[in-house]
Structure 1
Amino acid sequence: SVRSAYSYPMTAVASLCAKLEMELAQLDGEDAATFMADLGLVELAAGSVIRQSYDLTGLISFLTAGEDEVRAWPIVRGEKAPGAAGVIHSDLEKGFIRAEVVAYDDLISTGSMAEARKRGMLRQEGRNYTVLDGDILNILFSR
């Protein structure tokens, strides 16, 4: 198999059917999900390749969310909150006070940061907090 032929350390193999990926990309969300379920697919190849790339390089992503934008920021697994803030801007790292943190799944289940805060799912974390994959951060800092 292809996987055994390329089983070198720090490598991964992803197999995909480009035509199928193209067809799935052209379907709306519900039709694509049904088609994928019928085929026994859990995720598209692009997601698998990105996930494997992150795993191999030791990266994770945290998110920031504003009214107009949600953005993912790659950081090295094990990074502390001030270092993660520094990925956004060096001033955020220098003036780091604390981070408001909510897990991705908690935000999705509550529907908003306000509701997550109301239900006690929004945590205040300090300088020693290790950022987790999928954390949503609001960085509080001084200038």
Structure 2
Amino acid sequence: VVISTKLEAELAELPLAERKELLQEYGLPESGVELLARQSYKLLGLITYLTSGEKETKAWTIKTGTKAPQAAGVIHTDFEKGFIKAEIINYSQLKELKSLHEAREKGLVRQEGKEYVMQDGDVVLFKFNN
């Protein structure tokens, strides 16, 4: 991965919209730092899934091939032990909508069980028994 420290320093100083414009001027789809992070995850066999509530959205890192109950266990061991199901939509679908509520109304949120293999960018609500 080749990174221009000068360009990265310039990008760091700019607001998001201007950052995107500058990257377009250079014909780059993303910054070198973003590329480095993405390639590092790929080399290490890692993916990210998201949980979201009223107060916060949080990203969690897991190994590629992790099943839903084990992913839930990263948050808390009780989630893995009492796992019932996971309600899932991928971020790539969700970002096109206004809310998770709209995704549910359109039937885009899937119910997945214990054998579901988590995918990079999954937005998840775990259902479990205490």
Following the alignment from structure 1 to structure 2, what is the Cα–Cα distance between the partners of residues 15 and 125? 39
2:67 equivalent to 1:80? yes
Which is higher, the Rg of structure 1 or of structure 2?
1
Query: What TM-score results when the alignment is normalised by the length of structure 2?
Result: 0.96
Residue 92 of structure 2: which of 105, 111, 124 is its match? 105
Within 2, Cα distance between the matches of 1:27 and 1:68?
A: 27
Question: d(CA) in 2 for partners of 1:18 and 1:120?
Answer: 45
Code of the aligned partner of 1:100: E
Q: Which runs of 4+ in 1 moved over 6 A?
A: none
TM-score normalised by the chain length of structure 1: 0.88
CA drift of 1:58 comes to 0.7
- 1:140 corresponds to which residue? 127
User: For structure 1, which runs of at least 5 residues remain unmatched after alignment?
Assistant: 1-13
Distance in 2 between the 1:28 and 1:36 partners? 12
1:95-114 deviations in Å (ceiling 9; x for gaps): 10100001101111112110
How do 1:20-59 residues align onto structure 2 when only pairs under 5 Å count? Answer: 20-59=7-46
Please provide the CA RMSD for this pair: 0.8
How many positions carry a matched residue from both structures? 130
- Identity between Structure 1 and Structure 2 (%): 46
Structure 2's unaligned 5+ residue stretches are none
Task: Give how far 1:129 is off.
Answer: 0.6
Using the alignment, how far apart are the partners of 1:27 and 1:57 within structure 2? 30
